[in-house]
Structure 1
Amino acid sequence: MNTTPVVELTEALALNLSGLPADAAQALSETLLTIAQACAAISEVAAQGALAGAHGLASSSNSQGEDQKKLDVMADDVLSAAMAACPHVAGWASEEHEMPFVSDEHGNQGRYLVVFDPLDGSSNIEANISVGTIFSVLPHPYRGTTPGEMGFLQPGQQQVAAGYVLYGPCTVMVLTCRQGVQMFTLDRSSLRGEGPARWVLTQSEVRIPVATREFAINASNQRFWEKPVQRYVAECIAGESGPRHKDFNMRWVASMVAEVHRIMTRGGVFMYPRDEREPRKAGRLRHMYEASPMALLVEQAGGRAVNGTHDLLEVVPDTLHQRVPVLLGSKEEIDRIVSYHADPHENVSWQLFKTRSLFVQPQA
């Protein structure tokens, strides 16, 4: 019989935020509980899939001109409504919209700004592969005035909390309030009642293993990668016979939430590096909505997150939808990748990729 005490999200937040002034702790707790409730509602729709009309394209596109899925729109609507109703949220920004929103009632006095990707990995919806929500909570830097776009453009180090919710076989929320990382599992039976959704603490101190033999990258972009990434992946593929003297496994889900969750549970490296497809674009992932919150989570769990040369948490965004390269995960491997970027011409296995693919050995 399991006698481990059950700790729910409300209790865990009370402990995590005990070092804050009472009013700040209450405001942040209520903000995070509001986000959790919204994500529980999204989880229900995602679980119903086509039965809830959540499959297929919506008749709209997002701020970047990308086609939206119906579940993208539903998730965005649920989170936006929750933020508008939360008295501690002055404004919020969504990956789906070009400009941020200001609360009609709390725009001046709300303590926090919330940024979110309402549905990460939505290309996988019909394939029934895990998708998720990523969120970040920032201080409102100009309380007493309504927040504009500039108020959101803060480096990741300023985040007071960040997390993601993975809608998989079970729904899991991974959260940091800058006091380590915790995992909560949604008790789906609580959704059948009239009360709030019940989130139960299922892992209290998430730690990413320092070393790993697993990496995730979209190998179809191999020909566009910069030399340091070419070198790193070539050495992993070479396995025991190469300079690393150990075999690696490669993974790729095309859902950042799922990729990071695997790293949180067993270690690994996730890479969406700068490439040469569109030289004017620094990267593919959005700094505010994806890179920054995931970087805080990874660093709080003992890993490292960089853009290749600098820690992602130090990057100050220029625009709300700025894109950045992202390399994160087990610290030993990320440190190695950073060292390759520092000297990209040393021992780069460039010829390896000019003569054969990642996976096909040349004929003897």
Structure 2
Amino acid sequence: MPSSAEREIARDVLTLSRHVLQQFGSFTAEAQDFSALMNRIALAGKMIARRLSQAGLIEGALGVTGNVNVQGEEQQRMDEYANRAFIRALEQTGLVCRLVSEEMKTPARLPENCSLSRLALLVDPLDGSSNIEANLSVGSIFSVLQPLEDRPEADHQDLLQPGRRQLAAGYILYGPSTQLVYSVGKGVHSFTLDPSLGEFILSQSDIRIPERGSVYSLNEGYFCQWSEGIQNFIRYAHRQGSYTSRYSGALVADFHRILLQGGVYLYPGTRQKPEGKLRLMYEANPLAFLAEQAGGVATTGTEAILDIVPHSLHQRVPLIIGSRENVEEVLRCLEGSLRP
């Protein structure tokens, strides 16, 4: 039987890059490229985690830049830093040709990489950045796509493909510890950054969302702007006595809780903006990919998130995601078969 020291060493060497190679079960060029790519995404995460941990001490790290991003949102200085971190971590690596970001109207092209790789990385570099000055959890979300050969690259039509075509997806959560959760279509796995080693170490493999959870997560301040179906679900949740409301304002943090503990996260559209707020390609799609890999469900309320064919890089969608039974209750409220 292995000693405690041997078990500790075995744990410490199961790094993110090694785990990716194990997922492919080979040392092919594709497996090594994906291992290297996840390592660079992890590097960007380490850079952002370090900057966040020092943000209150570094002049100019906090506050707004005075710019407005492509979403029409005021850009935080940490948003700008996180976006640069992903670009710098990937340039001159030969791993990714284009990077689509919430912070940029058009993708960043990394021409020195394009002769070696056509892959595209889609990211929300810093989700929930309004939480930073209150020292609350934030995150990064990412998706990896293989551009379509038969669609023009000039206007990025080759990237407009359903979420089921994602090659990999995941997120990094910057909280009490820094965690990276990812999938290459073979289950969902979580890694925790060990600051003493400077490595993401496997902390939980083959994560499964519970069939049912007690948490519902959404911003109830918009109650009067929602459809009757969503309002009825909230009334139903209030009257059941088995639901608990939890909402942090950071999508990654709220989804991470649902992934581990079960329940449902909702960001529905409003009567004025039925398309919702969340972006399909680098927020809803990656999390839907993880949810389905873990046995959960992700839908707009009318169709599966991963089945949507995008019409633009920054397209918005409503999102209902989480445990199968909880999402089913929301859908029954929407169709009128379940009432408070």
Question: Normalising by structure 2, what TM-score?
Answer: 0.92
Determine the C-alpha separation between the residues in 2 that align with 1:91 and 1:296.
21
Determine the C-alpha separation between the residues in 2 that align with 1:43 and 1:257.
14
Task: Kindly report which structure 2 residues correspond to 1:7-46, keeping only aligned pairs within 5 A, or say none.
Answer: 7-18=14-25, 22-46=28-52
Look up the match of 1:227. Answer: 228
Matched, 1:264 2:255: no
Task: Kindly report which structure 2 residues correspond to 1:7-86, keeping only aligned pairs within 5 A, or say none.
Answer: 7-18=14-25, 22-52=28-58, 53-86=60-93
> Structure 1, residues 264-306: CA drift from partner, whole Å, max 9, x if none?
221121000121133xx41110111110001001111111110
> Structure 1, residues 8-46: CA drift from partner, whole Å, max 9, x if none?
112211111227x81221222211111111111111001
2:117 is paired with a residue whose SS is coil
Determine the C-alpha separation between the residues in 2 that align with 1:69 and 1:329.
29
**CA 1:147/1:273 → structure 2, altered by over 3 Å: closer, same or farther?**
same
Determine the C-alpha separation between the residues in 2 that align with 1:75 and 1:347.
43
Look up the match of 2:239. Answer: 238
Q: Runs of 4+ in structure 1 displaced over 4 angstroms?
A: 143-148, 346-349
Write the letter of the residue equivalent to 1:137.
Answer: V
Look up the match of 1:297. Answer: 290
> Does the aligned pair in 1 maintain the 2:152–2:158 contact within 8 Å?
no
Write the letter of the residue equivalent to 2:292.
Answer: E
Matched, 1:133 2:128: no
Determine the C-alpha separation between the residues in 1 that align with 2:331 and 2:260.
23
Look up the match of 1:211. Answer: 212
2:249 is paired with a residue whose SS is coil
Look up the match of 2:160. Answer: 153
- CA drift of 1:144 comes to 12
> Structure 1, residues 108-133: CA drift from partner, whole Å, max 9, x if none?
54141100000000010001000010
Determine the C-alpha separation between the residues in 2 that align with 1:148 and 1:189.
44
Look up the match of 1:328. Answer: 321
> Does the aligned pair in 2 maintain the 1:94–1:115 contact within 8 Å?
yes
Look up the match of 1:100. Answer: 107
**CA 1:212/1:106 → structure 2, altered by over 3 Å: closer, same or farther?**
same
2:302 is paired with a residue whose SS is coil
Task: Kindly report which structure 2 residues correspond to 1:317-356, keeping only aligned pairs within 5 A, or say none.
Answer: 317-341=310-334, 343-344=335-336, 346=337, 348=339
Structure 1 residue runs without a partner (length 5+) = 191-196, 241-246, 350-364
Determine the C-alpha separation between the residues in 2 that align with 1:86 and 1:337.
44
Determine the C-alpha separation between the residues in 2 that align with 1:277 and 1:85.
44
**CA 1:11/1:63 → structure 2, altered by over 3 Å: closer, same or farther?**
same
Write the letter of the residue equivalent to 1:328.
Answer: I
Determine the C-alpha separation between the residues in 1 that align with 2:285 and 2:329.
21
Determine the C-alpha separation between the residues in 2 that align with 1:28 and 1:147.
26
Determine the C-alpha separation between the residues in 2 that align with 1:150 and 1:84.
23
Matched, 1:202 2:203: yes
Look up the match of 1:354. Answer: none
- CA drift of 1:65 comes to 2.3
**CA 1:213/1:145 → structure 2, altered by over 3 Å: closer, same or farther?**
closer
Aligned with 2:281 (options 267, 288, 300): 288
- CA drift of 1:107 comes to 2.6
> Does the aligned pair in 2 maintain the 1:227–1:348 contact within 8 Å?
no
**CA 1:206/1:12 → structure 2, altered by over 3 Å: closer, same or farther?**
same
**CA 1:148/1:31 → structure 2, altered by over 3 Å: closer, same or farther?**
farther
**CA 1:331/1:147 → structure 2, altered by over 3 Å: closer, same or farther?**
farther
Percent identity over the alignment is 36
> Does the aligned pair in 2 maintain the 1:91–1:103 contact within 8 Å?
yes
Write the letter of the residue equivalent to 1:140.
Answer: P
Determine the C-alpha separation between the residues in 2 that align with 1:337 and 1:14.
39
Determine the C-alpha separation between the residues in 2 that align with 1:25 and 1:143.
25
2:54 is paired with a residue whose SS is helix
> Does the aligned pair in 2 maintain the 1:108–1:146 contact within 8 Å?
no
Look up the match of 1:313. Answer: 306
- CA drift of 1:328 comes to 0.3
Determine the C-alpha separation between the residues in 2 that align with 1:144 and 1:67.
33
1:166 is paired with a residue whose SS is strand
- CA drift of 1:86 comes to 2.5
Determine the C-alpha separation between the residues in 1 that align with 2:338 and 2:139.
39
Q: Which moved more, 1:101-110 or 1:153-162?
A: 101-110
Structure 2 residue runs without a partner (length 5+) = none
